[in-house]
Amino acid sequence: MENHSLIQRLIARPEFGPFILLIVEIAVFWGFNHDFLSPQNISNTLAFTVELGLIALAMTLLMTSGEFDLSVGSLFGFSPVLMWTLFNAGVTSLEMGFLVALVVAALIGLVNGWFVTQLKIPSFLVTLGMLLVVRGSALFITDGFPQRTWSAEGSWLAEALVGDFFIGPFRIYMSLFWFIAAAIALGYVLTQSRTGNWIQAAGGNPNAARARGVNVNRVKVGLFVLSSVMASLAGVISSLRTSAANPNSGTGYELEVIAMVVIGGTALTGGRGTIIGTVLGILILRVMRNGIVLIGVPGLAYNIFIGAIILGMMALHSWLERRHQAGT
């Protein structure tokens, strides 16, 4: 009876569906093409996973508080453009340019949070407007052209963020360790800390949270800042790894990141979030993108698969929620 109860609790967890889907996905792609689990392909998949993953981790906390940030994709492209523009013009060192980019991103997050909490404008509209402002700024600064980036070789910043080494046949980037550290830290914050309780309360019932003394506005502003800074960091990591700083980089990433978070089991309406589920959601979509190319499906069909996965996972989460509430 106890074992049956344990299985029921496991199945009811929001991470259960994504975990099963990821296992099935890996098995199917490996069945079609055994190179899918080759060391080179795993290394490449992990390198790409980290960059969108960092944004998704912060987005999990923000969505748990009941808000969205659609400006993360534009910040992903803007921050490396700003960093390289300052460096190439001789205004700052590469490291100082990186710090300036992070500070500017934090200020953008602060503005987003202020508009949402003080002017009571829905975060969807605020961050949509900021997306256009930030993307337009990146295009204006560069005249629409990529920035020169080849001077990063030998920089300690590049080594710290994207330095690579081999563990056996696997090529590992330092950015993977930054992602793991962020996942552990934010997972702890969300599930084991008082701040995590505030975040969930702010998303679940903000009025009740305020009545209990939670500063809901401060919590949400802090999460907007975190979201912007993580998007900035991810953009710089991508720029250093690929030696490119394109003002159009990150276009459409905001929706893919939200898809990762939702597929992982975080409630779209706020109040419930899971970092473990988000990590699974990140892997599901990155494995999907990699796998369909390896088995010969045109890459342009990727969005079809994303949409189908979102619909399927939403149906599964809804069904599990109803079963859980019914006590069966």
CB atoms inside a 10 Å sphere around CB 47: 21
Q: What is the pLDDT of residues 18-52, one digit of tens each?
A: 898 899 999 999 999 999 999 999 998 898 899 99
| Residue 114 near residue 223 (C-beta atoms within 8 A) | no
**Residue 221: predicted pLDDT:** 97
HSE-CB at 294 with a 13 A cutoff on CA atoms is 24
Phi, psi of 69 (to 5 degrees): -140, 105
Handedness of CA 212, 215, 216, 222 (dihedral sign): negative
Distance CA 273, CA 261 (A): 9
Share of the chain above pLDDT 90, in %: 59
Q: Is the pLDDT of residue 90 over 70?
A: yes
How many C-alpha atoms does 103 have within 13 Å on its Cβ side?
7
The H or E element spanning position 282 is helix 275-294
**Confidence band, pLDDT 50/70/90 cuts, at residue 308:** confident
Q: Are 57 and 278 in contact (CB under 8 A)?
A: yes
79 touches 235 (CB < 8 A): yes
Alpha helices in 33-173 (DSSP H): 39-64, 72-88, 94-118, 123-142, 156-162
Q: Which of 219, 221, 317 is nearest to 277 (CA)?
A: 317
Looking at residue 139, its amino acid is L
Assess whether pLDDT exceeds 80 at residue 191: yes
Residue 52 and residue 260 in contact, taking contact as beta carbons nearer than 8 Å: yes
Tell me what pLDDT residue 284 has.
92
Q: How many CB atoms lie within 10 A of CB 171?
A: 16
* Closest residue by Cα to residue 261 from 52, 28, 48: 52
pTM greater than 0.75 (yes/no): yes
Q: Taking the domains of the chain in order of start, what are their residue ranges?
A: 32-291
The two three-digit tokens of residue 323, written as one number: 């079963």
Q: Please determine, for residue 53, whether its predicted confidence score (pLDDT) is greater than 80.
A: yes
The pLDDT tens digits of the residues spanning 96-143 come to 999 999 999 999 999 999 999 999 999 999 999 999 999 999 999 888
In angstroms, rounded to a whole number, what is the distance separating the alpha carbons of residues 301 and 305?
A: 7
Q: How far, in Å, CA of 232 to CA of 49, rounded?
A: 16
Share the mean pLDDT of the chain.
89
Question: Considering the domain 32-291, what is its CATH architecture?
Answer: Orthogonal Bundle (1.10)
What is the model's pLDDT at position 314? 78
